Chains A and B, each alone.
Chain A
Amino acid sequence: MAKTLILGATSAIAIETAKILSDRGDALFLVARSPEKLESVRCDLEVRGGKIAGTLSSDLNDFSTHPGLMKKALEALQGLDLVLIAHGTLGDQKACEQDFVLAEKEIRTNFLSCVSLLTLISNKMEQEKSGTIAVISSVAGDRGRQSNYIYGSAKGALNLFLQGLRNRMYSSGVMVLTIKPGFVDTPMTAALKKNFLFAKPDQIGRGIVKAIDRKKDVVYLPCFWWGIMAIIKAIPEKIFKRLKL
């Protein structure tokens, strides 16, 4: 029955996670960019029997709105036990290479907005000495590759940030979970050619909830990505730099 805040609540992965959480009685506060999508997600969860404490549509790249947003969520939920940060964009790597304005936007969405939000959230939870912070990062943050290093570096920075935050929060009993999905069949990857490595968002949702319940620090979803990334990380840079990845 946790009081749960979901940021980026219209993400396919977030929706599937929200279904499970609301099914078991969590009260949800949903934040997402598009008011129409947000409304349709709210209706869906409510028809399924979920309890929605409130919704707010907001572009999370506008950091100045974050304090107000947090205030509204805390009021509606009357407390905060769990936060899931799910928003993100998989920008066009080639375009980002040519135009820093685009690259900067990717870094803002995938890294800086999370830092801004987590500053508010972590201070609140540290004060309360309880809570769980779950953030969707990506396997792409484990090693820089030419095909998506703008996105990858934002997620990589996010990983380090979460690692430090976990370390800081440990003494306050606040859990910090870094979620690293591999390929997931969602709108984000609609343009990619699908293969057997692609997981369905409901499978990732189940994995996220399980990892939260088991108080994990870092989770690869599905778990075989741990093995794949272990190999990718182990390749010496001398060789790695020659690969077309």
Chain B
Amino acid sequence: MQNHTPHVESWGRTVIVPQRVIPLFWQPKKLPELDEQETLLPYGEGRSYGDSCLNEGGVLLQTRGMNRFIYFDESQGILRCEAGVRLDEILEVTIPRGWFIPVSPGTQFVTLGGAIANDIHGKNHHVAGTFGRYVRAMEVLRSDGKRWLCSPQENSDLFGATIGGLGLTGLVLWAEIQMKRVSGPWIDQETVRFSHVDDFFKISEDSEKDYEYSVSWIDTLAQGKHLGRGHFMRGNHSPQKLDYSSKPKKITIPCNAPNWLLNTFTVRSFNFLYYHRQLATQKRNTVHYRPFFYPLDAVLAWNKLYGKRGFFQYQLVVPFKNDREPIKEILRLVAKSGMASFLAVLKTFGNIPSPGWMSFPREGVTLALDFPNQGSKTRKLFEELDRIVRTSQGALYPAKDATMLAEDFQKFYPRWQEFQKWVDPKFSSSFWRRVAEGQGSNG
């Protein structure tokens, strides 16, 4: 069962490391034998950006082959499936029967195991909390050969450690999740243009009660009285049934684009056009769930648009402060740096707690930024941003991270030592060695 795939990457493609890949096709009875120095890490679809899904010099257990549905109770919306099943596969099966995934990230090409291990959040965090809240039970295979059935009631420590547990507590074989009732695949969406980040906060507050989903795109190059201008998108599942449309056509980026493709100029032009694409400040329509939740999925392998050098994502959360100064300071720094972020997403997190000990979302406002890898220039900006996140008691998201400092991680995730006791002795990741064991920085 040994495989030497040329290389397996994470989504940002800034961290390229040698590792041994072992594909799983069926739920294994026990974990594979390792060489003495080797450690294991599960790998789903590699939609994490940095090094949290990579294991330099070790083994990656590719879970995609474990992709079978086990059980679906259509009347209660309870779905059990193997951890390598992807969210798009789940949606295809459940939407025609009136059920939606309870929490949706910005791409549907993530596995159930990956969704659990990063305790992902979606546009409904303010009302629904994280994905982990909907996990009713799961089975975890650890290197002691034991299969642990865990739920909020049973083996609840391992349950809490595994949700947001970064793949380190064992291999999730299957999980059972509570789905959410919907009438069909349609979303009633409304887009509101705002010209300053202060307006974002106003609209956000107004939207929280009446809209299940909300997220904003912002123009990070705008400064001064346009600081943090953007589009606020909010929506609800539509009661309309309409026709269930078939699969859309997809475009694939076949190879690396030249490194210069996404530069300040092209991003500035894009941002300008995108901001002004909607002349009215407010627009309503009914859209399919795919463009609403997963606009980027229409272009497969879009990460290659950043060229060979790859790119970073930087996602932070800072607590609400009356003056919203930290987030403004961050926006000012980014705008001043002139470094273009093509995709910048702003959203408020609610205060619903997650069962996961190491979960990233916490009450406040979160900002996700994409930057082409420009080496030390990009890292310098991150250092400045880190400082603000640190002093304002915020946190960074491991799923997106390639540069977080060990001391920061340990502050951002105060339960990390308690968590460490549940880390399987045979499991590790490049990320974990970097932030918990202080072994150098990657990328």
Q: Does B26 contact A (CB under 8 A)?
A: yes
Let me know if B2 and A47 touch, CB within 8 A. Answer: no
Determine the distance from Cα of A47 to Cα of B81 in the docked complex, in whole angstroms: 10
Determine the distance from Cα of A192 to Cα of B4 in the docked complex, in whole angstroms: 8
Within 8 A of B (CB), among A86-102: none
B80-93 vs A: 1/0 string, CB under 8 Å? 01000000000001
Let me know if A194 and B71 touch, CB within 8 A. Answer: no
Number of residue pairs A-B, CB distance < 8 angstroms = 43
The smallest beta-carbon distance between A194 and chain B, in angstroms, is 5
Let me know if A47 and B25 touch, CB within 8 A. Answer: no
The smallest beta-carbon distance between A42 and chain B, in angstroms, is 10
Let me know if B5 and A43 touch, CB within 8 A. Answer: no
- Please list the 9 inter-chain residue pairs (A to B) with the smallest Cβ-Cβ separation, ordered nearest first: A47-B69, A44-B68, A187-B25, A47-B72, A44-B69, A40-B68, A193-B4, A43-B70, A190-B1
Determine the distance from Cα of A193 to Cα of B5 in the docked complex, in whole angstroms: 6
Determine the distance from Cα of A44 to Cα of B26 in the docked complex, in whole angstroms: 13
Offer 20 A-B interface pairs, CB within 8 angstroms, sorted by A: A12-B25, A40-B26, A40-B68, A43-B69, A43-B70, A44-B70, A47-B70, A47-B81, A47-B93, A48-B93, A186-B25, A187-B25, A187-B26, A187-B65, A190-B2, A190-B23, A191-B3, A193-B4, A194-B4, A194-B5
List of A residues within 8 angstroms of B25 by Cβ: 12, 186-187, 190
Specify the chain A residue showing the minimal Cβ separation from B81: A47
Within 8 A of A (CB), among B17-50: 23, 25-27
Using C-beta atoms within 8 Å of the partner chain, give the interface range for chain A: 10 to 19
Let me know if A194 and B69 touch, CB within 8 A. Answer: no
Within 8 A of B (CB), among A1-49: 12, 37, 40-41, 43-44, 47-49
Determine the distance from Cα of A186 to Cα of B81 in the docked complex, in whole angstroms: 20
The smallest beta-carbon distance between B394 and chain A, in angstroms, is 41
List of A residues within 8 angstroms of B26 by Cβ: 37, 40, 187
A165-206 vs B: 1/0 string, CB under 8 Å? 000000000000000000000110011111000000000000
List of A residues within 8 angstroms of B2 by Cβ: 190-191
A55-93 vs B: 1/0 string, CB under 8 Å? 000000000000000000000000000000000000000
List of A residues within 8 angstroms of B224 by Cβ: none
Let me know if B4 and A41 touch, CB within 8 A. Answer: no
List of A residues within 8 angstroms of B4 by Cβ: 193-194
| Size of interface on B: residues with Cβ below 8 Å to A | 18
List of A residues within 8 angstroms of B93 by Cβ: 47-49
Specify the chain B residue showing the minimal Cβ separation from A193: B4
The smallest beta-carbon distance between A47 and chain B, in angstroms, is 4
The smallest beta-carbon distance between A14 and chain B, in angstroms, is 13
Specify the chain A residue showing the minimal Cβ separation from B3: A190
The smallest beta-carbon distance between A20 and chain B, in angstroms, is 13
Specify the chain A residue showing the minimal Cβ separation from B89: A48
Q: Does B6 contact A (CB under 8 A)?
A: yes
Determine the distance from Cα of A190 to Cα of B4 in the docked complex, in whole angstroms: 9
Determine the distance from Cα of A8 to Cα of B235 in the docked complex, in whole angstroms: 47
List of A residues within 8 angstroms of B65 by Cβ: 12, 187
Let me know if B71 and A47 touch, CB within 8 A. Answer: yes
The smallest beta-carbon distance between A89 and chain B, in angstroms, is 15
The smallest beta-carbon distance between B72 and chain A, in angstroms, is 5
Specify the chain B residue showing the minimal Cβ separation from A10: B26
List of B residues within 8 angstroms of A193 by Cβ: 3-4
List of B residues within 8 angstroms of A186 by Cβ: 25
The smallest beta-carbon distance between B24 and chain A, in angstroms, is 10
Determine the distance from Cα of A187 to Cα of B69 in the docked complex, in whole angstroms: 19
Determine the distance from Cα of A47 to Cα of B4 in the docked complex, in whole angstroms: 34
Determine the distance from Cα of A37 to Cα of B82 in the docked complex, in whole angstroms: 13
Specify the chain B residue showing the minimal Cβ separation from A37: B26
List of B residues within 8 angstroms of A190 by Cβ: 1-3, 23, 25
List of B residues within 8 angstroms of A192 by Cβ: 3
Specify the chain B residue showing the minimal Cβ separation from A43: B70
Given contacts A41-B68, A193-B3, could you give 12 more A-B pairs where the C-beta distance is less than 8 Å? Answer: A37-B26, A40-B68, A43-B69, A43-B70, A44-B68, A44-B69, A47-B69, A186-B25, A187-B25, A190-B1, A190-B25, A191-B3
List of A residues within 8 angstroms of B5 by Cβ: 194
The smallest beta-carbon distance between B429 and chain A, in angstroms, is 23
- The listed residue (B3, B23, B27, B71) touching A43 by CB distance below 8 A is B71
Determine the distance from Cα of A48 to Cα of B96 in the docked complex, in whole angstroms: 11
The smallest beta-carbon distance between A30 and chain B, in angstroms, is 13
Let me know if B68 and A43 touch, CB within 8 A. Answer: yes
List of B residues within 8 angstroms of A12 by Cβ: 25, 65
The smallest beta-carbon distance between A213 and chain B, in angstroms, is 18
List of A residues within 8 angstroms of B72 by Cβ: 47
Determine the distance from Cα of A201 to Cα of B23 in the docked complex, in whole angstroms: 14
Determine the distance from Cα of A41 to Cα of B27 in the docked complex, in whole angstroms: 12
- The listed residue (A43, A191, A194) touching B6 by CB distance below 8 A is A194
The smallest beta-carbon distance between A191 and chain B, in angstroms, is 6
Determine the distance from Cα of A193 to Cα of B2 in the docked complex, in whole angstroms: 9
Determine the distance from Cα of A49 to Cα of B94 in the docked complex, in whole angstroms: 10
Determine the distance from Cα of A193 to Cα of B23 in the docked complex, in whole angstroms: 12
The smallest beta-carbon distance between B18 and chain A, in angstroms, is 15
The smallest beta-carbon distance between A223 and chain B, in angstroms, is 19
Specify the chain B residue showing the minimal Cβ separation from A12: B25
List of A residues within 8 angstroms of B70 by Cβ: 40, 43-44, 47
Specify the chain B residue showing the minimal Cβ separation from A192: B3
Specify the chain B residue showing the minimal Cβ separation from A186: B25
The smallest beta-carbon distance between B93 and chain A, in angstroms, is 6
